[in-house]
């Protein structure tokens, strides 16, 4: 078996170094689309995905001149999106808990456009996974990152990635079986 390499945020036309020379506008144009797609797969919410990707972009650009490897912007950007998503989820859980206590109906829920051709049961199940399990699955199966690269993005060990992917897959199967029953 050959481990995959990251492809989701990489578009081969120009290098990040070129993009930097052209300013943050070019950097943004080069990376924002892939960033939004990744954020959407993590969050399930198109509008939130755009906010998430833009926030991650701001943070990465802020530190960009301090990166030893400017061409590694993609991986920093990817990591920032995942981290912002997982930390943001925690904040939103607090907000939701507070809103529930206050009797508000405005607690935010994940939303996506119906896609009759897709496995809606699988998509719903994916949305119910813990954030890090979902992130691990998306990084492995969409971004095609190796286990080691996934571990680096998630900031955990390879063993932890294996566990996240295995548990995520198992939870998906259970959730789908539950829906079918």
- Other C-beta atoms closer than 10 Å to the C-beta of 152 total 17
Out of 7, 14, 21, 58, which residue is the one contacting other proteins (CB under 8 A)?
58
CA-closest candidate to residue 9, choices 106, 149, 176 = 149
Nearer to other proteins, 98 or 104 (CB): 98
CB of 14 to other proteins, least distance (A): 13
Q: Are 56 and 84 in contact (CB under 8 A)?
A: yes
CB of 128 to other proteins, least distance (A): 14
Q: d(Cα 144, Cα 27) in Å, to the nearest integer?
A: 22
CB of 62 to other proteins, least distance (A): 3
- Interior angle at CA 92, CA 60 and CA 158, nearest 5: 55
Nearer to other proteins, 93 or 104 (CB): 93
Nearer to other proteins, 91 or 109 (CB): 91
- Three-state SS annotation for 108-134: CCCCCCCCCCCCHHHHHHHHCCCHHHH
Asked if residue 178 binds other proteins (CB under 8 A), the reply is no
Asked if residue 71 binds other proteins (CB under 8 A), the reply is yes
7 φ, ψ to 5°? -130, -20
Nearer to other proteins, 29 or 104 (CB): 29
Out of 21, 47, 111, 159, which residue is the one contacting other proteins (CB under 8 A)?
159
Binding mask 13-52 for other proteins (x = CB under 8 A): -----------xx--xx--xx--xxx-xx----x--xx--
CB of 106 to other proteins, least distance (A): 20
Q: Are 74 and 31 in contact (CB under 8 A)?
A: yes
The residues in 73-92 that bind other proteins, with binding defined as CB under 8 A, are 75-76, 83-84, 86-88, 90-91
Q: Are 82 and 154 in contact (CB under 8 A)?
A: yes
Asked if residue 63 binds other proteins (CB under 8 A), the reply is yes
Q: Are 138 and 145 in contact (CB under 8 A)?
A: no
């Amino acid at each position: 078996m050959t481990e995959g390499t990251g492809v989701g945020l990489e578009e081969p036309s120009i290098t990040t170094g070129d993009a930097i020379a052209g300013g943050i506008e070019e950097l943004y144009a080069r990376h924002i689309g892939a960033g939004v797609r990744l954020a959407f797969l993590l969050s399930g919410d198109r509008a939130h995905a755009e906010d998430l990707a833009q926030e991650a972009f701001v943070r990465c650009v802020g530190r960009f001149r301090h990166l030893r490897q400017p061409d590694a912007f993609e991986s920093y950007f990817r990591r920032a999106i995942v981290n912002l998503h997982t930390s943001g989820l925690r904040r939103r859980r607090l907000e939701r808990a507070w809103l529930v206590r206050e009797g508000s109906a405005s607690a935010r829920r994940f939303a996506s456009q119906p896609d009759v051709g897709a496995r809606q049961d699988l998509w719903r199940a994916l949305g119910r996974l813990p954030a890090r399990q979902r992130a691990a699955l998306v990084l492995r199966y969409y971004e095609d990152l190796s286990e080691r690269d996934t571990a680096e993005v998630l900031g955990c060990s390879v063993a932890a990635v294996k566990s996240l992917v295995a548990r995520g897959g198992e939870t998906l199967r259970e959730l789908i079986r539950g829906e079918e029953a």
